[in-house]
Amino acid sequence: MLNKKIRTLVVDDSAIFRNVISTALNQASDIEVIGTAIDPMDAKDKILQLKPDVITLDVEMPKMNGIEFLKKMLPIQKVAAIVVTSSAVEAFEAISAGAVDYIKKPSAREMDAFAHELRKAVRVASTARVGAGRAVVTPSSSAASAPQQVMSILNPGKNTNKVIAIGASTGGTEAIQVVVQNLPANTPGTVIVQHMPAGFTKMYADRLNKICKMEVREAQDGDRLTQGLILLGAGEFHLRLRKDTRGYYVSSQRGEKVTGHCPSVDVLFDSVADVAKSNALGVILTGMGGDGAKGMLNMKNSGAFTIGQDKETCVVYGMPEVAFRLGGVVKQAPLQNIAGVLMEKLR
């Protein structure tokens, strides 16, 4: 019996780009383009008529942009949407509006890589829990009370041997925000890898910095990691934790992809296991595949406390599941409780 193909609708006002996307997807034996739409009004009718598993969605379109379309369409018909855009701001707004993932629009020389990434994104989106892991949540009582507890036990302005490491992929931009936005300003230094294209990570760090009590920056090679600072791995650069007589710092270096990614969560977690050992706390969030699972096991084996996001709140329960099955997760928790678990452990 043949496996069911992933039914995909392509939404774009450009006939050329509709053809580019359709051709790229139809080259895959497990994906079928069941139709195309030229604007959001056309897309609405075809979604209701054809009931696709996944849609690819342009943002800049006549009559209504893709972000407004998501806000209006998803309450009516939940469908896994992948936004295609060259703008990091638009990508993050689309994710906040309910898109599962985004793909960076390609230049002429990037078409082959774009086709590969698009097919991979469609496969991931077809398994996603649409609407899971949204950044607007009601914190649990433990998460709400823990900031005051941590403030009373950490000395503002002082370095600490503790370090937090977080890894995520699909659905991670919103999930990371849920975890870090309410951490107090004197939380131990935090390093994060989110699978994201080059050029997008700086915008994402700036976005987090506006809403977090901690300072958030895109990591630069040699940056010191201190209490109250979050360093986000740059796209196409592996992020590693280092330590010298002055304390923690990071290296940010180009390199080959590891477990299919650069930056790789495994690379970060392995370095944290080597450097911080039992002073580390690790968190693995929503994402397809297994990046970070072996690194999290290494962290646990070196004495770190590790947390995996639970299935019910993941957009894609892939990375946390692999880490859990390998035995690398000390505690599983719903997304909205993870900050509270971290802070309770610090206390």
pLDDT tens profile 14-57 = 999 999 999 999 999 999 999 999 999 999 999 999 999 999 99
Continuous segment of H or E residues that includes residue 329: none
Query: What is the pTM (predicted TM-score) of this model?
Result: 0.89
Distance (Å, rounded) from C-alpha 308 to C-alpha 61?
A: 39
Give the pLDDT confidence of 202-261 residue by residue, as tens digits. Answer: 999 999 999 999 999 999 999 999 999 999 999 999 999 999 999 999 999 999 999 999
Do residues 184 and 156 lie in contact, with contact meaning Cβ atoms separated by under 8 Å?
Answer: no
- Given the residues 195, 264, 266, 271, the one annotated as active site: 195
Q: Is 266 a catalytic residue?
A: no
| Residue 73, token pair as written in the block | 């369409």
Q: What token pair was written down for 19?
A: 């053809």
Catalytic residue check, 291? yes
Q: Find the catalytic residue in 87, 96, 126, 169.
A: 169
Q: Say if CB 248 and CB 227 are below 8 A apart.
A: no
Out of 53, 223, 270, 291, the active site residue is 291
Q: Has 86 been annotated as catalytic? A: no
Judged by DSSP in three states, 284 sits in strand
pLDDT at 147: 46
pLDDT of res. 136 = 46
Residue pair 268/240 in contact (Cβ under 8 Å)? The answer is yes
Residues of the chain falling short of pLDDT 70: 1-2, 133-160
Beta-carbon contacts of 302 under 8 Å, excluding residues fewer than 6 positions away, are: 273, 274, 277, 278, 280
Q: What would you report as the CA-atom Rg of the chain, rounded to the nearest whole angstrom?
A: 20
Residue 333's φ and ψ, nearest 5 degrees, are -150, 150
Q: What is the pLDDT of residue 133?
A: 65
